């Protein structure tokens, strides 16, 4: 059971990017470097949703998945941490 203080988010991506995130964590500089070298779907940034179906849809369109496959990463984040990221301009809720 998920605590009411936690939010579950999903990120759809290609397999190589998912492994990189799982092994190295999220690194803003690395993300910007990688995204400057290839096409992005929605522009520079890291996108997550609270709907797994939406994450699977975007994972299927991930530019890096051509012939390599795709997946969805599930993560938990406290609502407090998410609000801090939004207040600092590091996250946007849409």
Residue 83 lies in a domain: yes
**Predicted confidence (pLDDT) at residue 21 exceeds the cutoff of 70:** yes
**Predicted confidence (pLDDT) at residue 65 exceeds the cutoff of 80:** no
Residue 92 lies in a domain: no
Residue 40 lies in a domain: yes
Residue 60 lies in a domain: yes
Q: How many domains does the chain have?
A: 1
Give the start-end residues of each E strand in the chain.
Answer: 6-14, 70-78
- For 18-27, 31-40, 81-90, which range has the lowest pLDDT when averaged over its residues? 31-40
pLDDT in the model for residue 20: 86
Task: Provide the 8-state DSSP code for 67.
Answer: T
Residue 94 lies in a domain: no
Residue 1 lies in a domain: no
Q: Where are the alpha helices (DSSP H) in 1-94?
A: 15-24, 28-36, 52-60, 79-87
Contacts of 63 (CB under 8 A, 6+ apart): 14, 38, 39, 40, 41
Range of the domain at 44: 6-87
- What is the model's pTM? 0.75
**Confidence at 8, pLDDT banded by 50, 70, 90:** very high
13 by Cβ neighbours in 10 Å (0-12 / 13-18 / 19+) ranks as: buried
């Amino acid at each position: 059971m998920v605590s009411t203080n936690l939010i579950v988010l999903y990120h759809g991506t290609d397999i190589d990017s998912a492994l990189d995130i799982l092994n190295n964590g999220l690194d803003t500089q690395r993300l910007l470097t990688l995204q400057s070298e290839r096409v992005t779907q929605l522009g520079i940034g890291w996108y997550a949703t609270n709907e797994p179906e939406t994450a699977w849809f975007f994972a299927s369109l991930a530019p890096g998945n051509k012939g390599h496959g795709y997946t969805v990463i599930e993560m938990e984040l406290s609502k407090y941490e998410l609000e801090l990221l939004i207040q600092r301009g590091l996250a946007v809720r849409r």
